[in-house]
Structure 1
Amino acid sequence: MLGQPPASLLDGASMFLDLDGTLVHFADHPDAIVVDEKLRTLLLRLHDVLDGRLAIISGRGLDDLAGRLGLDAVAMAGSHGAEYCLAGGIPVRSTPPANLDDVTAAIIAFAKDNALVAELKPAGAALHFRTAPEMGQAARAFAIDLASRNGFITQDGSMVIELRAPGSDKGAIVRSFMAEPPFASGRPVAVGDDLTDEDAFDAAIALGGSAVIVGPRAATSAQYRLDGVDALRTWLEQAR
């Protein structure tokens, strides 16, 4: 059984935080998440306490992520690390796959035919079945087949299956950020809730840091656990 992370873990941390299911609660539609002003204030304070060593790393597209948070001073990575922007810097983006439009069209059609939610991203697309969990198996089978025929990989998640271009993951972007100032002067701490966050966990631990899982998911390499979004926010408020 994993224990809660001590407040001392925040001292000298280079903090890598997921968004959905970690900093904000899930919603039935990815556009319906709520990023409240209290969260923005918390993140700006954490950024200051950590001397800028804070990054939000999400599966969302970078523009979507940045637009929702509205925090230009905070480093961010979107599309599982395929796009990123250091604080105040110029966004760096991978070239989208040439067949992305074809894959996206297939995802949209399947979602429409089965009353699911299609989420379009710069380097892939996702099928959400939170409102129709009985469709999970069919959605996964469709996505796996589509990915195998088009050179994509699949990423399973909480009530979602995603197709994305190979070559990037959250672990790679943690390692990349940790090679740059100001992150290089800290100890990596990765926090997330979903399977895609395991890559970030493994990278942080390999670099001598720590990992914190948010929520009840059992199989994880994280050393610590917080019960949910509210528990994470309370823990982050202890940063001094």
Structure 2
Amino acid sequence: MTKSQSLREPASLSDMCRKHAVALFVDFDGTMVEIAAGPDDISVPLNLAQALEALAARMDNRLAVISGRSLLDIKRHLGTPAIACAGSHGAELVSSDGSLLGPQPLELPRQALDALAEYARKEGLRFEAKTHGGALHYRSNPERGSDALSFATDISNSYGLAIKTGKCVVEVVQKGANKGNAVHAFMQTAAFAGATPIFIGDDVTDEDGFTACKELGGFGICVGNRDGTAAEYSVPSVEGVYEWLELF
């Protein structure tokens, strides 16, 4: 059941870890780094990768970054720290040692990506080609959001794909690619099994992660308050995430 009231801040991570094993799942944009005008415009703290790797060590490797970005894009910004990651909304997963979890994910049909790219060019939007998806960013043209969603939905229906929406972005992905499924997949591995899962995220696509953690006996933490969230708790900002994780 979703909630619309202001959420409380969670108890400290240290207190939770003293009581039971905890598994952490963290979104990237809007959670670990501030939202920017475009996906290539983010500012990543210089020591973020090292801080996440140290956090993973404290958590006995029960930490995973789960992002809408592709794994290749995550690697471009973080390098290759020894932490588990899921990219493309959970379509591609790797363990902390870099080994692939599950089957090799499918790429989107080239015709679908070409259609999205051409639409973005004509409408003055920003197209982001991903390994397993294609996104239309309309932050600079927010009035085009409804039309972009309609076009992307038509493309997804034509090719048997799915839609993800977020903050000024709509993305076409493979069916079944969502952050909740990524949480379930990680929780079935030896490193994560038996722990209490916690998902931290800021956007609509993170709701699947919140719900999955609740199903598995854990909870979600929303970055900022948002009506209709399945999260149980909230922190006010990216800086608040750093503080709660005791990251720096």
TM-score (norm 2): 0.90
> Is the contact made by 1:66 and 1:76 (CA closer than 8 Å) also made in structure 2?
no
Q: 1:175 to 1:233 in 2, by over 3 A?
A: same
Letter in 1 for 2:183: V
Of 120, 128, 145 in structure 2, the residue corresponding to residue 119 of structure 1 is 128
Whole-Å separation in 2 of the counterparts to 1:168 and 1:114: 27
Q: 1:150 to 1:238 in 2, by over 3 A?
A: closer
Q: 1:9 to 1:113 in 2, by over 3 A?
A: farther
Root-mean-square deviation (CA), in Å? 1.6
Q: 1:145 to 1:238 in 2, by over 3 A?
A: closer
Of 94, 113, 116 in structure 1, the residue corresponding to residue 105 of structure 2 is 94
Which ranges of structure 2 fall in alignment gaps of 5 or more residues?
1-5
1:27-66 equivalences in 2 (<5 Å): 27-66=36-75
The Cα offsets for residues 128-178 of structure 1, whole Å up to 9 and x where unpaired, read as: 011111111111111112211221111111110011110221111111111
Q: 1:33 to 1:10 in 2, by over 3 A?
A: farther
Corresponding pairs, count: 237
1:95 CA displacement? 2.2
Letter in 2 for 1:89: G
Secondary structure of 1:21's counterpart equals: coil
1:3-152 equivalences in 2 (<5 Å): 3-7=8-12, 8-9=15-16, 11=18, 12-92=21-101, 93-97=104-108, 100-152=109-161
Of 166, 169, 192 in structure 1, the residue corresponding to residue 175 of structure 2 is 166
Secondary structure of 1:183's counterpart equals: coil
Q: 1:10 to 1:129 in 2, by over 3 A?
A: farther
Of 215, 231, 241 in structure 2, the residue corresponding to residue 222 of structure 1 is 231
Equivalent position of 2:243 in the other structure: 234
Equivalent position of 1:206 in the other structure: 215
Q: 1:9 to 1:133 in 2, by over 3 A?
A: farther
Whole-Å separation in 2 of the counterparts to 1:238 and 1:103: 40
1:88 CA displacement? 1.0
Letter in 1 for 2:7: L
1:74 CA displacement? 0.4
> Is the contact made by 1:42 and 1:237 (CA closer than 8 Å) also made in structure 2?
no
Which ranges of structure 1 fall in alignment gaps of 5 or more residues?
none
> Is the contact made by 1:40 and 1:69 (CA closer than 8 Å) also made in structure 2?
yes
Q: Percent identity?
A: 38
TM-score (norm 1): 0.93
> Is the contact made by 1:211 and 1:224 (CA closer than 8 Å) also made in structure 2?
yes
